[in-house]
């Protein structure tokens, strides 16, 4: 299949994306719409032959079988022997799903009901801290226990009518210091979010928060909540079982914002809006399960990604939400995509014959336009761009802002595709009064090669439901790309070595472990830190 795709790519060499629009219905044919969201992937150099080869690739890679296995609770996370059922969290009224012979759905419903009741108590003021109603919620967690709720809380700002929410993740004391200073411990709720309840950053921050609260509050544990699969560890930390919200090991960290890890988001926007977020995810699941591959949004987004990264060889892709409230989406997607598909061996342990998933990066528009779009338009590397934008904003009084925002988004994808040729650039320079060699020199700087691919995801308004659709869309896109590459998208062994070495490095830095075994560079760096510490102690 890969050979067919590579041949197709060669056959398209020198062809313009714009010329593909000679086919009058190209935009509609290269788009998928589901439940009010439209994905337009027509501004890519994918023609009918390439498209059908890509769909064949998805089919022959077993995407449909693997999808059925995932939803049925089969242990498709083979290196950890686990099912992959984050989809169950957003379908609490769905049918029974058995994991190792036991139905998990009643547990999902119970936990959601308990989350709802705590969220309502906190929001209504019935749950009080030592000093009265809760004014601030601090979510302590990292990676999958941080990025989802943080991204979602920011994205759904217009729905945020609960207490203020803060997110602490970094072990850098600056993070918790800056977050806690100014908060009243007697009116703060601390959520310790950690699937394993062992992550060094989170446990260090949780203990610091506990000490901070203990200075002002007689029973600090009463203002702590735990979100974890390791309930016994949460109990050891001193958090009472009624404030521990558990989830199964069939929920991967980076797929976990739909369940207990989403508690901060639920407290912020309220359980009803959180339900809408879940419904949006479930709607995308239903589409993903039922739509034929060629009309399936996550599948076609994945195939566009496969085309650009694996077939065309473009090393990165940019996620460019034209929505300031989606500022944290690129970071969220970096974990989702790069931790899931940044692997060098297939499910069987054999080396990948393809590239692993691409580098994902991005920032909201229009800000990025004034920073890195220079390279996107004129750099030598091609960066496929994934634009997203709502047709309207949440601020009716500022509709003229939104009109400019949307216009910029649409103009960028057009500019990337059309570019500006040398003749047009010469004409511009002539108009500006340049002549001869100077005109030629100036014109060359103003050429845009164009023919640069992009996709656009467009929807009416960024509601909780829409956010649910968008997050689930990207989850399934990662899944489809992973299946095609033969990767296990649900483990993350690549984060382990650094963690192990950090443990011993702390001893080396403190002088409790020998430095001799380290390489020259590491010895130099350790010595520098030690000498500076010594100075500050003087």
Ligand X SMILES: O=P(O)(O)OC[C@H]1O[C@H](O)[C@H](O)[C@@H](O)[C@@H]1O
Catalytic residue among 337, 339, 386, 475: 339
Largest CA distance in the chain: 82
Nearer to ligand X, 238 or 313 (CB): 238
Nearer to ligand X, 8 or 254 (CB): 254
Annotated active-site residue 339? The verdict is yes
**In the complex, minimum distance from the CB of residue 241 to ligand X, in angstroms, rounded to a whole number:** 19
C-alpha span between 457 and 366 (Å, rounded): 16
Which positions ≥6 away from 174 have C-beta within 8 Å? Answer: none
C-alpha span between 239 and 259 (Å, rounded): 19
Nearer to ligand X, 191 or 389 (CB): 191
Nearer to ligand X, 227 or 312 (CB): 227
CB 190 within 8 A of CB 206: yes
**In the complex, minimum distance from the CB of residue 145 to ligand X, in angstroms, rounded to a whole number:** 4
**In the complex, minimum distance from the CB of residue 209 to ligand X, in angstroms, rounded to a whole number:** 15
CB 157 within 8 A of CB 325: yes
Annotated active-site residue 500? The verdict is no
Name 225's bridge partners.
191
Annotated active-site residue 499? The verdict is yes
CB 251 within 8 A of CB 86: yes
For the record, the structure tokens of 21 come out as 């629009």
**Sheet strands (E) in 323-448:** 359-362, 385-390
From the list 414, 409, 413, 411, the residue with the least C-alpha distance to 459 is: 409
**In the complex, minimum distance from the CB of residue 498 to ligand X, in angstroms, rounded to a whole number:** 9
Q: What DSSP letter does each residue of 287-302 carry, written as one string? A: HHHHS-GGG-HHHHHH
Nearer to ligand X, 199 or 454 (CB): 199
Catalytic residue among 215, 370, 400, 445: 370
**In the complex, minimum distance from the CB of residue 217 to ligand X, in angstroms, rounded to a whole number:** 25
**In the complex, minimum distance from the CB of residue 379 to ligand X, in angstroms, rounded to a whole number:** 31
From the list 80, 85, 83, the residue with the least C-alpha distance to 95 is: 85
Write out the H or E segment, with its range, that includes residue 200: helix 200-214
Nearer to ligand X, 205 or 310 (CB): 205
- Write the DSSP symbol of residue 434: -
Q: Which residues bind ligand X (CB under 6 A)?
A: 142-145, 194-196, 199, 202, 253-254, 339, 492, 495
CB 425 within 8 A of CB 439: no
Enzyme catalytic residues: 339, 370, 499
């Amino acid at each position: 299949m890969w050979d067919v795709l590579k041949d197709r790519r060669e056959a398209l060499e020198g062809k313009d994306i714009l010329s593909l629009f000679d086919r009058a219905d190209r935009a509609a044919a290269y788009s998928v719409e589901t439940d009010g969201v439209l994905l337009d992937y027509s501004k890519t150099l994918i023609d009918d032959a390439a498209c059908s080869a890509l769909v064949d690739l998805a089919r022959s890679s077993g995407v449909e079988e693997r999808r059925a296995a995932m939803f049925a609770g089969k242990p498709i996370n083979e290196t950890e022997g686990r099912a992959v059922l984050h989809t169950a969290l957003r379908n609490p009224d769905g049918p029974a799903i058995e994991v190792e012979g036991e139905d998990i759905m009643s547990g999902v419903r119970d936990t959601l009901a308990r989350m709802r009741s705590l969220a309502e108590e906190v929001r209504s003021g019935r749950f009080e801290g030592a000093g009265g109603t809760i004014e601030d919620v601090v979510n302590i967690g990292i990676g999958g226990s941080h990025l989802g709720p943080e991204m979602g809380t920011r994205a759904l700002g217009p729905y945020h009518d609960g207490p203020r929410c803060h997110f602490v993740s970094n072990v850098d004391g600056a993070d918790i210091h800056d977050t806690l200073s100014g908060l009243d411990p007697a009116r703060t709720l601390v959520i310790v979010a950690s699937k394993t309840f062992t992550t060094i950053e989170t446990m260090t921050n949780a203990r610091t928060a506990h000490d901070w609260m203990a200075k002002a509050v007689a029973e600090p544990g009463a203002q702590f909540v735990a979100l974890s699969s390791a309930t016994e560890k949460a109990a050891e930390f001193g958090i009472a079982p009624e404030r521990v919200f558990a989830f199964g090991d069939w929920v991967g960290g980076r797929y976990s914002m739909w369940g207990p890890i989403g508690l901060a988001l639920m407290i912020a926007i309220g359980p009803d809006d959180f339900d809408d977020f879940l419904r949006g995810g479930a709607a995308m699941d239903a589409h993903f399960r039922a739509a034929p591959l060629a009309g399936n949004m996550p599948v076609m987004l994945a195939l566009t990604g496969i085309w650009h990264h694996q077939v065309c060889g473009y090393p990165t892709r940019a996620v460019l939400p034209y929505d300031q409230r989606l500022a944290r989406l690129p970071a969220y997607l970096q974990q989702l995509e790069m931790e899931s598909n940044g692997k060098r061996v297939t499910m069987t342990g054999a080396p990948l014959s393809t590239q692993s998933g691409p580098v994902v990066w991005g920032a909201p528009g229009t800000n990025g336009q004034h920073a890195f779009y220079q390279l996107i338009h004129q750099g030598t590397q091609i960066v496929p761009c994934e634009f997203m934008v709502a047709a309207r904003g949440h601020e009716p009084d500022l509709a003229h802002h939104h009109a400019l925002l949307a216009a910029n988004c649409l103009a960028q994808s057009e500019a990337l595709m059309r570019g500006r040729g040398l003749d047009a650039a010469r004409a511009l320079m002539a108009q500006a009064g340049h002549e001869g060699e100077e005109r030629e020199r100036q014109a060359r700087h103003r050429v845009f090669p164009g023919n640069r691919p992009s996709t656009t995801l467009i929807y009416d308004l960024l509601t909780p439901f829409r956010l649910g659709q968008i997050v689930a869309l990207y989850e399934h896109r990662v899944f489809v790309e992973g299946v095609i590459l033969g990767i296990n998208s649900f483990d993350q062994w690549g984060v382990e070595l650094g963690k192990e070495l950090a443990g011993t490095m702390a001893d080396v830095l403190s002088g409790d472990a020998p430095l001799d075994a380290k390489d020259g560079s590491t010895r130099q760096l350790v010595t520098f830190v030690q000498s500076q510490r010594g100075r500050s102690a003087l």
